[in-house]
Structure 1
Amino acid sequence: MTPRSHLYVAGDNPARFAKAVASGADAIILDLEDAVAEAGKDLARAEVARWVGQWSGSAPQIWVRVNSGPRRGDDIAAVVGAGAGLTGICVPKVGDADELVEVDRLIGTAEQDAGLPIGSVVVAPLIETAAGLLAAREIARAPRVAFLHLGEADLAADLGVQPGHPDDAGTEFLYARSLVVTVSAAAGIGPPVAPVTTDFRDLDALSASTGRLHRLGYLGRACIHPAQIATVNAVFTPEPDEIRRAQDLVDRLTAARDSGAGVTLDANGRMIDEAVIRSARRTLGLVRAQA
Protein backbone atom coordinates (compact mmCIF):
# COMPACT_ATOMS: atom_id res chain seq x y z
CA MET A 1 0.00 0.00 0.00
CA THR A 2 1.13 3.55 -0.72
CA PRO A 3 0.73 5.28 2.65
CA ARG A 4 -1.35 8.45 2.54
CA SER A 5 -0.20 9.74 5.93
CA HIS A 6 3.15 9.35 7.69
CA LEU A 7 3.10 10.45 11.33
CA TYR A 8 6.36 11.45 13.00
CA VAL A 9 6.75 10.41 16.64
CA ALA A 10 9.71 11.39 18.82
CA GLY A 11 11.77 8.30 19.58
CA ASP A 12 12.37 9.37 23.17
CA ASN A 13 8.65 9.39 23.99
CA PRO A 14 7.60 5.71 24.00
CA ALA A 15 4.29 6.57 25.67
CA ARG A 16 3.17 7.97 22.33
CA PHE A 17 4.09 4.97 20.17
CA ALA A 18 0.87 3.04 20.76
CA LYS A 19 -1.19 6.24 20.39
CA ALA A 20 0.45 6.84 17.03
CA VAL A 21 -0.47 3.33 15.89
CA ALA A 22 -4.10 4.04 16.84
CA SER A 23 -4.13 7.48 15.21
CA GLY A 24 -5.33 6.38 11.77
CA ALA A 25 -2.01 7.10 10.06
CA ASP A 26 -1.03 4.65 7.33
CA ALA A 27 2.60 4.81 8.48
CA ILE A 28 4.38 6.01 11.59
CA ILE A 29 7.97 7.25 11.68
CA LEU A 30 9.75 6.78 14.99
CA ASP A 31 12.24 9.62 14.91
CA LEU A 32 15.76 9.28 16.29
CA GLU A 33 17.03 12.40 14.51
CA ASP A 34 15.66 15.95 14.78
CA ALA A 35 13.01 15.19 17.39
CA VAL A 36 15.54 13.89 19.94
CA ALA A 37 18.10 16.01 21.78
CA GLU A 38 21.69 14.83 21.65
CA ALA A 39 21.71 13.76 25.29
CA GLY A 40 18.71 11.49 24.77
CA LYS A 41 19.67 9.73 21.55
CA ASP A 42 21.09 6.55 23.06
CA LEU A 43 18.02 6.03 25.24
CA ALA A 44 15.71 6.80 22.31
CA ARG A 45 17.47 4.21 20.16
CA ALA A 46 17.02 1.59 22.87
CA GLU A 47 13.32 2.45 23.35
CA VAL A 48 12.59 2.36 19.63
CA ALA A 49 14.44 -0.93 19.13
CA ARG A 50 12.59 -2.48 22.08
CA TRP A 51 9.21 -1.39 20.73
CA VAL A 52 9.94 -2.47 17.15
CA GLY A 53 11.01 -5.85 18.48
CA GLN A 54 7.59 -6.29 20.07
CA TRP A 55 5.56 -5.02 17.11
CA SER A 56 3.73 -7.74 15.19
CA GLY A 57 0.92 -5.86 13.44
CA SER A 58 0.44 -5.54 9.69
CA ALA A 59 -0.69 -1.90 9.79
CA PRO A 60 0.37 0.81 10.04
CA GLN A 61 3.77 0.60 8.43
CA ILE A 62 6.59 1.13 10.94
CA TRP A 63 9.54 3.30 9.87
CA VAL A 64 12.49 4.66 11.83
CA ARG A 65 14.30 7.85 10.92
CA VAL A 66 17.91 7.26 11.88
CA ASN A 67 20.62 9.82 12.51
CA SER A 68 23.26 11.01 10.09
CA GLY A 69 26.97 10.68 10.80
CA PRO A 70 28.58 8.28 13.25
CA ARG A 71 25.31 7.29 14.94
CA ARG A 72 23.79 5.96 11.74
CA GLY A 73 25.41 2.52 11.88
CA ASP A 74 24.43 1.91 15.50
CA ASP A 75 20.87 3.10 14.85
CA ILE A 76 20.46 0.76 11.89
CA ALA A 77 21.98 -2.21 13.68
CA ALA A 78 19.67 -1.73 16.67
CA VAL A 79 16.34 -1.20 14.93
CA VAL A 80 16.82 -3.67 12.05
CA GLY A 81 18.22 -6.23 14.45
CA ALA A 82 15.19 -5.88 16.71
CA GLY A 83 13.08 -8.18 14.55
CA ALA A 84 10.67 -8.37 11.64
CA GLY A 85 8.33 -5.56 12.71
CA LEU A 86 10.18 -2.84 10.81
CA THR A 87 9.00 -1.70 7.38
CA GLY A 88 11.94 0.52 6.56
CA ILE A 89 14.54 3.15 7.40
CA CYS A 90 14.13 6.87 6.68
CA VAL A 91 17.58 8.27 5.90
CA PRO A 92 17.85 12.03 6.50
CA LYS A 93 19.81 14.62 4.53
CA VAL A 94 21.00 12.25 1.83
CA GLY A 95 23.51 14.08 -0.36
CA ASP A 96 24.40 11.40 -2.89
CA ALA A 97 23.67 7.81 -3.84
CA ASP A 98 26.95 6.55 -2.36
CA GLU A 99 25.50 7.14 1.11
CA LEU A 100 22.72 4.69 0.31
CA VAL A 101 25.15 2.06 -0.90
CA GLU A 102 26.65 2.16 2.59
CA VAL A 103 23.17 2.13 4.17
CA ASP A 104 22.34 -0.93 2.06
CA ARG A 105 25.46 -2.66 3.41
CA LEU A 106 24.62 -1.76 7.01
CA ILE A 107 21.03 -2.97 6.70
CA GLY A 108 22.14 -6.17 4.96
CA THR A 109 24.55 -6.97 7.78
CA ALA A 110 21.85 -6.31 10.38
CA GLU A 111 19.34 -8.47 8.49
CA GLN A 112 21.82 -11.31 8.31
CA ASP A 113 22.66 -11.05 12.01
CA ALA A 114 18.96 -11.04 12.91
CA GLY A 115 18.07 -13.93 10.59
CA LEU A 116 15.87 -11.74 8.41
CA PRO A 117 15.55 -12.16 4.63
CA ILE A 118 18.10 -9.96 2.85
CA GLY A 119 16.26 -7.05 1.27
CA SER A 120 13.25 -7.21 3.59
CA VAL A 121 13.89 -3.72 5.03
CA VAL A 122 13.44 -0.90 2.53
CA VAL A 123 14.69 2.68 2.54
CA ALA A 124 13.09 6.12 2.17
CA PRO A 125 15.73 8.84 1.66
CA LEU A 126 14.92 12.42 2.61
CA ILE A 127 15.77 15.03 -0.01
CA GLU A 128 16.37 18.11 2.12
CA THR A 129 19.63 19.70 0.94
CA ALA A 130 20.79 21.37 -2.27
CA ALA A 131 23.23 18.50 -2.84
CA GLY A 132 20.48 15.95 -2.36
CA LEU A 133 18.20 17.78 -4.76
CA LEU A 134 20.85 17.79 -7.49
CA ALA A 135 21.57 14.10 -6.88
CA ALA A 136 17.90 13.10 -6.60
CA ARG A 137 17.91 11.13 -9.85
CA GLU A 138 20.71 8.84 -8.66
CA ILE A 139 19.33 8.67 -5.11
CA ALA A 140 15.97 7.43 -6.45
CA ARG A 141 17.77 4.55 -8.20
CA ALA A 142 19.86 3.51 -5.19
CA PRO A 143 19.48 0.09 -3.48
CA ARG A 144 16.35 -0.61 -1.42
CA VAL A 145 14.70 2.77 -2.16
CA ALA A 146 10.91 2.46 -1.99
CA PHE A 147 10.11 6.17 -2.27
CA LEU A 148 11.55 9.58 -1.44
CA HIS A 149 10.56 12.16 1.16
CA LEU A 150 10.86 15.87 0.47
CA GLY A 151 12.01 17.83 3.53
CA GLU A 152 11.41 21.50 2.94
CA ALA A 153 12.45 23.01 6.28
CA ASP A 154 16.09 21.99 5.93
CA LEU A 155 15.99 22.60 2.20
CA ALA A 156 14.76 26.16 2.72
CA ALA A 157 17.61 26.83 5.14
CA ASP A 158 20.14 25.37 2.72
CA LEU A 159 18.85 27.34 -0.26
CA GLY A 160 18.01 30.57 1.54
CA VAL A 161 14.38 30.28 0.48
CA GLN A 162 11.86 32.27 2.53
CA PRO A 163 8.70 30.16 2.61
CA GLY A 164 5.30 30.94 4.04
CA HIS A 165 4.24 34.13 2.25
CA PRO A 166 0.52 33.86 1.43
CA ASP A 167 1.05 35.12 -2.12
CA ASP A 168 3.40 32.24 -2.93
CA ALA A 169 1.20 29.23 -2.01
CA GLY A 170 4.23 26.97 -2.06
CA THR A 171 5.52 28.07 -5.46
CA GLU A 172 8.93 28.85 -3.95
CA PHE A 173 9.39 25.05 -3.76
CA LEU A 174 7.77 24.20 -7.09
CA TYR A 175 11.04 23.19 -8.77
CA ALA A 176 12.03 20.88 -5.92
CA ARG A 177 8.55 19.39 -5.61
CA SER A 178 8.24 18.62 -9.30
CA LEU A 179 11.79 17.35 -9.61
CA VAL A 180 11.30 14.79 -6.83
CA VAL A 181 8.09 13.56 -8.49
CA THR A 182 9.82 13.30 -11.86
CA VAL A 183 12.89 11.36 -10.70
CA SER A 184 10.66 8.98 -8.74
CA ALA A 185 8.56 8.18 -11.80
CA ALA A 186 11.67 7.77 -13.95
CA ALA A 187 13.21 5.37 -11.43
CA GLY A 188 10.04 3.31 -11.20
CA ILE A 189 9.71 3.74 -7.43
CA GLY A 190 6.65 4.89 -5.48
CA PRO A 191 5.47 8.50 -5.56
CA PRO A 192 7.29 10.74 -3.07
CA VAL A 193 6.00 11.78 0.33
CA ALA A 194 5.09 15.45 0.60
CA PRO A 195 6.67 17.59 3.33
CA VAL A 196 5.21 18.44 6.71
CA THR A 197 3.53 21.67 7.62
CA THR A 198 4.03 22.87 11.17
CA ASP A 199 0.62 24.56 11.48
CA PHE A 200 -1.52 21.64 12.65
CA ARG A 201 -4.45 23.81 13.74
CA ASP A 202 -5.47 25.30 10.37
CA LEU A 203 -6.95 22.21 8.73
CA ASP A 204 -8.47 24.18 5.85
CA ALA A 205 -5.02 25.42 4.88
CA LEU A 206 -3.67 21.90 5.30
CA SER A 207 -6.34 20.51 2.98
CA ALA A 208 -5.65 23.18 0.36
CA SER A 209 -1.88 22.75 0.38
CA THR A 210 -2.16 18.96 0.38
CA GLY A 211 -4.52 19.17 -2.59
CA ARG A 212 -1.93 21.21 -4.51
CA LEU A 213 0.73 18.63 -3.72
CA HIS A 214 -1.62 15.84 -4.80
CA ARG A 215 -2.13 17.55 -8.15
CA LEU A 216 1.66 17.73 -8.55
CA GLY A 217 1.90 13.94 -8.25
CA TYR A 218 2.21 13.23 -4.52
CA LEU A 219 0.11 10.45 -3.00
CA GLY A 220 1.04 10.89 0.67
CA ARG A 221 2.21 13.49 3.17
CA ALA A 222 4.23 13.54 6.36
CA CYS A 223 2.44 14.77 9.49
CA ILE A 224 3.73 16.09 12.81
CA HIS A 225 0.46 15.85 14.76
CA PRO A 226 -2.42 13.33 14.86
CA ALA A 227 -4.87 16.16 14.18
CA GLN A 228 -3.54 16.35 10.60
CA ILE A 229 -4.11 12.72 9.69
CA ALA A 230 -7.81 12.66 8.82
CA THR A 231 -7.43 15.68 6.54
CA VAL A 232 -4.40 14.26 4.76
CA ASN A 233 -6.01 10.83 4.36
CA ALA A 234 -9.13 12.43 2.90
CA VAL A 235 -7.20 14.35 0.25
CA PHE A 236 -5.38 11.23 -0.94
CA THR A 237 -8.47 8.98 -0.90
CA PRO A 238 -10.32 8.95 -4.26
CA GLU A 239 -13.88 10.27 -4.10
CA PRO A 240 -16.74 7.94 -5.14
CA ASP A 241 -17.40 9.97 -8.32
CA GLU A 242 -13.70 9.79 -9.21
CA ILE A 243 -13.75 6.02 -8.74
CA ARG A 244 -16.86 5.65 -10.90
CA ARG A 245 -15.34 7.77 -13.68
CA ALA A 246 -12.12 5.79 -13.58
CA GLN A 247 -13.94 2.46 -13.76
CA ASP A 248 -16.13 3.74 -16.61
CA LEU A 249 -13.05 4.78 -18.60
CA VAL A 250 -11.41 1.39 -18.13
CA ASP A 251 -14.63 -0.43 -19.05
CA ARG A 252 -15.12 1.67 -22.19
CA LEU A 253 -11.59 1.10 -23.49
CA THR A 254 -11.78 -2.61 -22.68
CA ALA A 255 -15.01 -2.91 -24.65
CA ALA A 256 -13.51 -0.95 -27.54
CA ARG A 257 -10.47 -3.22 -27.66
CA ASP A 258 -12.69 -6.30 -27.54
CA SER A 259 -14.36 -4.98 -30.69
CA GLY A 260 -11.02 -4.33 -32.38
CA ALA A 261 -10.68 -0.57 -31.77
CA GLY A 262 -7.71 1.10 -30.06
CA VAL A 263 -9.54 4.22 -28.94
CA THR A 264 -13.06 5.16 -27.90
CA LEU A 265 -15.02 8.06 -26.35
CA ASP A 266 -15.77 8.87 -22.72
CA ALA A 267 -19.20 9.83 -21.39
CA ASN A 268 -18.67 13.43 -22.61
CA GLY A 269 -17.63 12.45 -26.12
CA ARG A 270 -13.91 13.03 -25.64
CA MET A 271 -11.41 10.57 -27.05
CA ILE A 272 -9.73 8.20 -24.61
CA ASP A 273 -6.77 5.94 -25.27
CA GLU A 274 -4.10 4.15 -23.26
CA ALA A 275 -2.49 7.40 -22.08
CA VAL A 276 -5.77 8.52 -20.48
CA ILE A 277 -6.43 5.08 -19.03
CA ARG A 278 -3.13 4.99 -17.11
CA SER A 279 -4.42 7.63 -14.69
CA ALA A 280 -7.72 5.80 -14.32
CA ARG A 281 -5.93 2.55 -13.52
CA ARG A 282 -3.77 4.36 -10.97
CA THR A 283 -6.91 5.61 -9.20
CA LEU A 284 -8.43 2.13 -9.12
CA GLY A 285 -5.14 0.71 -7.87
CA LEU A 286 -5.18 3.15 -4.95
CA VAL A 287 -8.72 2.10 -4.07
CA ARG A 288 -7.72 -1.57 -3.99
CA ALA A 289 -4.63 -0.80 -1.90
CA GLN A 290 -6.65 1.22 0.64
CA ALA A 291 -9.45 -1.37 0.92
Structure 2
Amino acid sequence: MTAVPLTWLYAPGDRPHVVAKALTCGADVVVIDLEDAVAPDRKAYARQATAELLRDRQPVPVHVRVNALDGPWAEADLAAIAPAPGLSALRLPKVTSPAEVAGVARRAVPAGGGELALYALLETALGVERAFAVATAQSALRGIALGETDLRADLGVRDDAGLDWSRSRVVVAARAAGLPPPAQSVHPDTRDLAGLAASCAHGRSLGFLGRAAVHPRQLPVIERAYLPTQEETERAETIIKAATAQQGAQALPDGRFVDAAVVAEARRTLALARRT
Protein backbone atom coordinates (compact mmCIF):
# COMPACT_ATOMS: atom_id res chain seq x y z
CA MET A 1 0.00 0.00 0.00
CA THR A 2 1.35 3.43 -0.90
CA ALA A 3 1.80 6.12 1.71
CA VAL A 4 0.16 8.89 -0.35
CA PRO A 5 -3.03 7.83 -2.18
CA LEU A 6 -3.51 9.44 -5.57
CA THR A 7 -6.29 7.34 -7.09
CA TRP A 8 -9.71 6.56 -5.61
CA LEU A 9 -11.79 4.23 -7.80
CA TYR A 10 -15.58 4.15 -7.35
CA ALA A 11 -17.52 0.93 -7.94
CA PRO A 12 -21.29 0.37 -7.54
CA GLY A 13 -22.17 -1.69 -4.50
CA ASP A 14 -24.93 -3.63 -6.26
CA ARG A 15 -22.48 -5.06 -8.81
CA PRO A 16 -20.10 -7.31 -6.84
CA HIS A 17 -18.26 -8.44 -9.97
CA VAL A 18 -17.39 -4.82 -10.77
CA VAL A 19 -16.20 -4.29 -7.19
CA ALA A 20 -14.05 -7.42 -7.41
CA LYS A 21 -12.46 -6.13 -10.62
CA ALA A 22 -11.88 -2.70 -9.06
CA LEU A 23 -9.91 -4.31 -6.25
CA THR A 24 -7.38 -5.61 -8.79
CA CYS A 25 -7.07 -2.52 -11.02
CA GLY A 26 -4.23 -0.81 -9.20
CA ALA A 27 -6.20 1.97 -7.50
CA ASP A 28 -4.79 3.18 -4.20
CA VAL A 29 -8.29 3.14 -2.67
CA VAL A 30 -11.50 1.47 -3.84
CA VAL A 31 -14.73 3.26 -2.94
CA ILE A 32 -17.83 1.08 -2.93
CA ASP A 33 -20.79 3.32 -3.67
CA LEU A 34 -24.15 2.71 -2.03
CA GLU A 35 -25.50 6.13 -3.00
CA ASP A 36 -25.75 7.65 -6.47
CA ALA A 37 -24.62 4.56 -8.40
CA VAL A 38 -27.37 2.35 -6.91
CA ALA A 39 -31.08 2.54 -7.80
CA PRO A 40 -33.56 2.72 -4.89
CA ASP A 41 -34.83 -0.81 -5.44
CA ARG A 42 -31.24 -2.13 -5.28
CA LYS A 43 -30.16 -0.38 -2.07
CA ALA A 44 -30.79 -3.34 0.24
CA TYR A 45 -28.96 -5.75 -2.06
CA ALA A 46 -25.99 -3.38 -2.44
CA ARG A 47 -25.75 -3.01 1.34
CA GLN A 48 -25.88 -6.76 1.91
CA ALA A 49 -23.36 -7.56 -0.82
CA THR A 50 -20.95 -4.94 0.49
CA ALA A 51 -21.24 -6.14 4.09
CA GLU A 52 -20.51 -9.70 2.95
CA LEU A 53 -17.44 -8.64 0.97
CA LEU A 54 -16.05 -6.64 3.87
CA ARG A 55 -16.25 -9.51 6.31
CA ASP A 56 -12.67 -10.12 5.14
CA ARG A 57 -9.71 -7.81 4.77
CA GLN A 58 -9.11 -6.67 1.20
CA PRO A 59 -5.86 -6.22 -0.76
CA VAL A 60 -6.32 -2.43 -0.91
CA PRO A 61 -8.07 0.03 1.42
CA VAL A 62 -11.82 0.00 0.88
CA HIS A 63 -14.05 2.98 1.63
CA VAL A 64 -17.84 2.89 1.41
CA ARG A 65 -19.93 5.89 0.41
CA VAL A 66 -23.15 5.52 2.33
CA ASN A 67 -26.46 7.08 1.38
CA ALA A 68 -27.42 10.65 2.27
CA LEU A 69 -27.40 11.08 6.03
CA ASP A 70 -30.87 12.64 6.10
CA GLY A 71 -32.40 9.97 3.86
CA PRO A 72 -34.15 6.65 4.50
CA TRP A 73 -31.18 4.31 3.96
CA ALA A 74 -28.27 5.84 5.90
CA GLU A 75 -28.98 4.27 9.28
CA ALA A 76 -29.18 0.77 7.81
CA ASP A 77 -25.96 1.43 5.88
CA LEU A 78 -24.10 2.49 9.03
CA ALA A 79 -25.39 -0.46 11.05
CA ALA A 80 -24.41 -3.01 8.41
CA ILE A 81 -21.12 -1.57 7.15
CA ALA A 82 -19.38 0.18 10.07
CA PRO A 83 -18.50 -3.01 12.02
CA ALA A 84 -17.08 -4.80 8.95
CA PRO A 85 -13.40 -5.86 9.42
CA GLY A 86 -12.55 -5.07 5.79
CA LEU A 87 -13.74 -1.45 5.95
CA SER A 88 -11.09 1.27 5.99
CA ALA A 89 -13.31 4.37 6.03
CA LEU A 90 -16.78 5.77 5.40
CA ARG A 91 -17.44 8.54 2.91
CA LEU A 92 -20.33 10.76 3.89
CA PRO A 93 -22.24 12.43 1.02
CA LYS A 94 -23.83 15.87 0.98
CA VAL A 95 -22.50 16.95 4.38
CA THR A 96 -23.68 20.44 5.37
CA SER A 97 -22.83 20.68 9.07
CA PRO A 98 -20.31 19.54 11.70
CA ALA A 99 -23.16 17.92 13.64
CA GLU A 100 -23.70 15.39 10.85
CA VAL A 101 -20.07 14.26 11.03
CA ALA A 102 -20.12 14.09 14.82
CA GLY A 103 -23.35 12.09 14.74
CA VAL A 104 -21.89 9.49 12.39
CA ALA A 105 -18.71 9.28 14.49
CA ARG A 106 -20.83 8.40 17.53
CA ARG A 107 -22.91 5.78 15.73
CA ALA A 108 -20.39 4.18 13.37
CA VAL A 109 -18.11 2.18 15.67
CA PRO A 110 -15.79 -0.53 14.33
CA ALA A 111 -16.24 -4.05 15.66
CA GLY A 112 -13.03 -3.79 17.70
CA GLY A 113 -13.89 -0.35 19.07
CA GLY A 114 -12.02 2.90 18.52
CA GLU A 115 -12.59 5.42 15.75
CA LEU A 116 -13.67 4.70 12.21
CA ALA A 117 -12.08 7.02 9.65
CA LEU A 118 -14.55 9.39 8.00
CA TYR A 119 -14.42 11.57 4.87
CA ALA A 120 -16.94 14.35 4.30
CA LEU A 121 -18.15 15.22 0.80
CA LEU A 122 -19.28 18.81 0.33
CA GLU A 123 -21.81 18.96 -2.50
CA THR A 124 -23.90 22.07 -1.85
CA ALA A 125 -23.30 25.78 -1.40
CA LEU A 126 -24.04 25.43 2.31
CA GLY A 127 -21.53 22.62 2.65
CA VAL A 128 -18.82 24.68 0.98
CA GLU A 129 -19.61 27.70 3.15
CA ARG A 130 -19.10 25.51 6.24
CA ALA A 131 -16.01 23.74 4.92
CA PHE A 132 -13.68 24.63 7.79
CA ALA A 133 -16.31 23.91 10.45
CA VAL A 134 -16.91 20.49 8.91
CA ALA A 135 -13.18 19.84 8.56
CA THR A 136 -12.66 20.43 12.29
CA ALA A 137 -15.85 18.68 13.44
CA GLN A 138 -14.39 15.45 14.77
CA SER A 139 -11.05 13.71 15.28
CA ALA A 140 -12.24 10.76 13.18
CA LEU A 141 -12.47 12.97 10.10
CA ARG A 142 -9.54 12.20 7.78
CA GLY A 143 -10.42 14.41 4.85
CA ILE A 144 -12.91 16.56 2.96
CA ALA A 145 -13.63 16.75 -0.75
CA LEU A 146 -16.08 18.23 -3.22
CA GLY A 147 -18.90 16.42 -4.99
CA GLU A 148 -18.87 18.56 -8.08
CA THR A 149 -21.85 17.16 -9.99
CA ASP A 150 -24.30 18.06 -7.24
CA LEU A 151 -22.48 21.30 -6.47
CA ARG A 152 -22.62 22.38 -10.10
CA ALA A 153 -26.39 21.87 -10.12
CA ASP A 154 -26.82 23.66 -6.80
CA LEU A 155 -24.82 26.70 -7.91
CA GLY A 156 -26.10 26.77 -11.47
CA VAL A 157 -22.62 27.48 -12.85
CA ARG A 158 -22.29 27.73 -16.62
CA ASP A 159 -18.85 26.19 -17.03
CA ASP A 160 -16.09 24.44 -15.14
CA ALA A 161 -14.35 27.66 -14.14
CA GLY A 162 -17.40 28.55 -12.07
CA LEU A 163 -16.33 25.92 -9.53
CA ASP A 164 -12.81 27.24 -8.95
CA TRP A 165 -13.71 29.42 -5.97
CA SER A 166 -15.36 26.46 -4.24
CA ARG A 167 -12.38 24.26 -5.05
CA SER A 168 -9.94 26.71 -3.52
CA ARG A 169 -12.20 27.14 -0.50
CA VAL A 170 -12.07 23.41 0.21
CA VAL A 171 -8.30 23.20 -0.34
CA VAL A 172 -7.73 26.06 2.11
CA ALA A 173 -10.16 24.61 4.67
CA ALA A 174 -8.43 21.23 4.59
CA ARG A 175 -5.02 22.80 5.07
CA ALA A 176 -6.25 25.07 7.87
CA ALA A 177 -7.71 22.04 9.65
CA GLY A 178 -4.50 20.06 9.34
CA LEU A 179 -6.03 17.56 6.90
CA PRO A 180 -4.37 16.21 3.73
CA PRO A 181 -5.00 18.06 0.48
CA PRO A 182 -8.36 17.02 -0.99
CA ALA A 183 -8.61 14.69 -3.95
CA GLN A 184 -10.38 16.04 -7.02
CA SER A 185 -13.92 15.05 -7.85
CA VAL A 186 -14.53 12.57 -10.68
CA HIS A 187 -14.18 13.46 -14.36
CA PRO A 188 -17.46 11.97 -15.63
CA ASP A 189 -16.47 11.40 -19.28
CA THR A 190 -14.51 8.14 -19.02
CA ARG A 191 -13.29 8.30 -22.63
CA ASP A 192 -12.05 11.89 -22.53
CA LEU A 193 -8.55 11.11 -21.27
CA ALA A 194 -7.03 14.29 -22.72
CA GLY A 195 -9.66 16.36 -20.94
CA LEU A 196 -9.02 14.39 -17.75
CA ALA A 197 -5.29 15.09 -17.95
CA ALA A 198 -5.89 18.82 -18.50
CA SER A 199 -8.36 18.93 -15.64
CA CYS A 200 -5.92 17.14 -13.33
CA ALA A 201 -3.19 19.64 -14.22
CA HIS A 202 -5.57 22.45 -13.30
CA GLY A 203 -6.53 20.71 -10.06
CA ARG A 204 -2.90 20.25 -9.15
CA SER A 205 -2.31 23.96 -9.69
CA LEU A 206 -5.14 24.69 -7.22
CA GLY A 207 -3.64 22.47 -4.51
CA PHE A 208 -5.51 19.18 -4.94
CA LEU A 209 -3.69 15.89 -4.57
CA GLY A 210 -5.01 12.90 -6.49
CA ARG A 211 -8.43 12.26 -7.90
CA ALA A 212 -11.49 10.03 -7.76
CA ALA A 213 -12.21 7.91 -10.84
CA VAL A 214 -15.17 5.96 -12.17
CA HIS A 215 -13.29 3.74 -14.65
CA PRO A 216 -9.92 1.93 -14.45
CA ARG A 217 -8.71 3.57 -17.67
CA GLN A 218 -8.63 6.89 -15.82
CA LEU A 219 -6.19 5.69 -13.15
CA PRO A 220 -2.85 5.97 -15.02
CA VAL A 221 -3.81 9.41 -16.34
CA ILE A 222 -4.48 10.66 -12.82
CA GLU A 223 -1.29 9.14 -11.45
CA ARG A 224 0.86 10.65 -14.20
CA ALA A 225 -0.72 14.05 -13.69
CA TYR A 226 -0.04 14.11 -9.96
CA LEU A 227 3.36 12.46 -9.76
CA PRO A 228 6.31 14.87 -10.11
CA THR A 229 8.05 14.99 -13.46
CA GLN A 230 11.72 14.12 -13.74
CA GLU A 231 12.51 17.82 -14.00
CA GLU A 232 10.51 18.61 -10.85
CA THR A 233 12.22 15.80 -8.97
CA GLU A 234 15.69 16.95 -10.01
CA ARG A 235 14.85 20.54 -9.05
CA ALA A 236 13.68 19.38 -5.63
CA GLU A 237 16.85 17.34 -5.09
CA THR A 238 18.95 20.39 -5.93
CA ILE A 239 17.06 22.48 -3.40
CA ILE A 240 17.45 19.87 -0.64
CA LYS A 241 21.19 19.55 -1.31
CA ALA A 242 21.63 23.31 -1.16
CA ALA A 243 19.62 23.56 2.06
CA THR A 244 21.66 20.76 3.63
CA ALA A 245 24.93 22.44 2.76
CA GLN A 246 23.94 25.87 4.08
CA GLN A 247 21.27 26.84 6.60
CA GLY A 248 18.98 29.83 6.10
CA ALA A 249 17.72 31.62 3.00
CA GLN A 250 20.00 31.59 -0.03
CA ALA A 251 20.11 31.94 -3.79
CA LEU A 252 21.05 29.05 -6.05
CA PRO A 253 23.55 29.59 -8.92
CA ASP A 254 20.67 29.73 -11.41
CA GLY A 255 19.07 32.61 -9.50
CA ARG A 256 16.33 30.67 -7.68
CA PHE A 257 15.74 31.78 -4.11
CA VAL A 258 15.55 29.09 -1.45
CA ASP A 259 14.01 29.51 1.99
CA ALA A 260 12.21 27.24 4.47
CA ALA A 261 8.94 27.25 2.51
CA VAL A 262 10.72 26.28 -0.72
CA VAL A 263 12.55 23.48 1.09
CA ALA A 264 9.28 22.16 2.55
CA GLU A 265 7.72 22.07 -0.92
CA ALA A 266 10.80 20.25 -2.26
CA ARG A 267 10.47 17.61 0.46
CA ARG A 268 6.81 17.07 -0.49
CA THR A 269 7.82 16.66 -4.12
CA LEU A 270 10.41 14.03 -3.27
CA ALA A 271 7.98 12.18 -1.01
CA LEU A 272 5.55 11.90 -3.92
CA ALA A 273 8.31 10.85 -6.30
CA ARG A 274 9.22 7.99 -3.96
CA ARG A 275 5.63 6.91 -3.21
CA THR A 276 5.96 3.57 -5.01
Question: How high is the TM-score relative to the length of structure 1?
Answer: 0.89
1:147 equivalent among 143, 146, 153: 143
Unaligned runs of 5+ in 2: none
1:130-155 CA deviation, whole Å, 9 max, x = no partner? 11011101111121111112111101
2:226 corresponds to 1:266: no
Give the secondary-structure state (helix, strand or coil) at the position aligned to 1:219: coil
Q: CA deviation at 1:267?
A: 4.5
Unaligned runs of 5+ in 1: 164-169
Contact 1:2–1:219 under 8 Å retained in 2: no
The amino acid of 1:287's aligned partner reads: A
Give the secondary-structure state (helix, strand or coil) at the position aligned to 1:53: coil
1:87-119 CA deviation, whole Å, 9 max, x = no partner? 1100000011110010110123xx2xx224x02
Query: 1:283 aligns to what?
Result: 269
The amino acid of 2:152's aligned partner reads: A
1:206-259 CA deviation, whole Å, 9 max, x = no partner? 1011110011101111111111111011111112221121122012112102xx
Distance 1:225 1:266 in 2: 44
Query: 2:112 aligns to what?
Result: 115
Give percent identity, aligned residues only. Answer: 39
Distance 2:203 2:222 in 1: 11
Q: 229-238 or 66-75: which moved more?
A: 66-75
Query: 2:179 aligns to what?
Result: 189
Distance 2:256 2:154 in 1: 46
Larger helix share, 1 or 2: 1
2:28 equivalent among 10, 26, 29: 26
Contact 1:66–1:91 under 8 Å retained in 2: yes
Distance 1:159 1:73 in 2: 29
Query: 2:132 aligns to what?
Result: 137
CA RMSD for the aligned pairs? 1.3
Distance 1:252 1:184 in 2: 31
Query: 2:158 aligns to what?
Result: 162
The amino acid of 1:171's aligned partner reads: A
Q: How does 1:46-195 map to 2 (within 5 A)?
A: 46-57=48-59, 59=60, 61-68=61-68, 69-83=71-85, 85-108=86-109, 111=110, 114-116=111-113, 118-119=114-115, 121-143=116-138, 144-163=140-159, 170-195=160-185
Distance 1:187 1:89 in 2: 19
Q: CA deviation at 1:161?
A: 1.6
Give the secondary-structure state (helix, strand or coil) at the position aligned to 1:194: coil
1:239-284 CA deviation, whole Å, 9 max, x = no partner? 2221121122012112102xxxx12223412221101112111112
The amino acid of 1:115's aligned partner reads: G
2:206 equivalent among 209, 212, 216: 216
Contact 1:24–1:230 under 8 Å retained in 2: no
Q: CA deviation at 1:74?
A: 1.9
Give the secondary-structure state (helix, strand or coil) at the position aligned to 1:149: strand
Give the length in aligned residue pairs. 271
